[in-house]
Amino acid sequence: MTDARTPLPDLDSLDIEALRTLVLEQHAAILSHRTEIDNLQLLVLKLKRMHFGHKSEKLDRKIEQLELRLEDLEAAEPPSPAPAPPEAPAAEPVRKRPARRPLPESLPRTTKTHTPKHTACPDCGGKLRELGEDVAEVLEYVPAHFEVIRLVRPKLSCTACEHIVQEPAPSRPIDRGLAGPGLLAHVVVSKFADYVGLAVM
């Protein structure tokens, strides 16, 4: 990908496909940068809301660090790319689903392994062997800190008939969401119950 801070090549020497590729790369870089800024702004806002009603030096430090990172990102935000020259209408591009950023490595992690209940193949009774595993992460709120819970689901396959056995994924409060039940409960209590308690005082 072309870095937005490197000088652009001679646009007159590029053909339409090369120009299109260059514009798409620049656009993707800007979108990625804006997404990181938006995510940090939301996280700062969420931490400030959590901070409402109680004092915590650790939470203050986290908010300050995130705000400094946010200022650095906004200062280094790449300029918008020059508009592409008009070209012949082409087939509509296939829209790609934006890739979700992984949760920060600095957060503590707890691994919960959901092993299949079967000790033998349910189809033919053959011996099961390890085939791989699916790993998903859920952001959970444990009082006073965040924690990432890794949900590991090993895959086993039958040595006789190749049948694959795997425990189903545990249900989540929000389908395909990152927030665990503890985090959602904390946000609801912080937003409504704590606010009502302070308003009554």
Q: Indicate if 93 and 141 belong to the same structural domain.
A: no
The residue count of the chain comes to: 201
Whether residue 105 is predicted with pLDDT greater than 60 in this model: the reply is yes
Confidence band, pLDDT 50/70/90 cuts, at residue 107: confident
Domain count, the chain: 2
CA distance 140 to 124: 40
Same domain, 122 and 81: no
Chosen domain end from 100, 134, 159: 100
Assess whether 81 and 118 both reside in one domain. no
Instruction: Provide the percentage of residues in the chain whose pLDDT is more than 70.
Output: 70
CA neighbor of 166 nearest in space, from 138, 137, 130: 130
Question: pTM of this prediction?
Answer: 0.34
Give the residue numbers spanning the domain of 73: 1-100
Question: pLDDT tier at 77 (50, 70, 90 boundaries)?
Answer: low
Do 38 and 128 share a structural domain? no
Cβ–Cβ contacts within 10 Å for residue 148, how many?
20
| Whether residue 84 sits in one domain with residue 112 | no
Contact (Cβ atoms closer than 8 angstroms) between residue 176 and residue 126: no
Is residue 111 located within the same domain as residue 179? yes
Same domain, 87 and 117: no
Residue 95, CA distances (Å) to 14, 46, 70, 98, 120 in order: 25, 30, 28, 9, 43
Query: What is residue 190's DSSP assignment?
Result: I
What is the distance between the alpha carbons of residues 139 and 146, in angstroms, rounded to a whole number? Answer: 7
**Do 19 and 72 share a domain, yes or no?**
yes
Strand partners of residue 146: 141
> Any bridge partners for residue 135, and if so which?
152
- State which of 67, 100, 133 marks the end of a domain: 100
Q: What are phi and psi of 54, to 5 degrees?
A: -150, 155
Q: How does DSSP assign 34-94, residue by residue?
A: HHHHHHHHHHHHHHHHHHTTS--HHHHHHHHHHHHHHHHHHHTPPPPPPPPPP----PPPP
What mean pLDDT, rounded, does the chain reach? 75
pLDDT in tens, 164-179: 999 988 888 888 888 8
Eight-class DSSP state of 15: -
Angle between helices 16-51 and 57-75 (to 10 degrees): 160
**Which of 34, 68, 100 is the C-terminal boundary of a domain?**
100
Same domain, 121 and 177: yes
CA distance 156 to 164: 6
Return the minimum-mean-pLDDT range out of 1-5, 63-67, 128-132. 1-5
Lowest mean pLDDT among 6-20, 57-71, 77-91: 77-91
User: pLDDT for 46-66, tens place per residue?
Assistant: 777 765 555 556 666 777 777
**Whether residue 89 is found in the same domain as residue 1:** yes
Same domain, 93 and 128: no
User: Are 52 and 13 in the same domain?
Assistant: yes
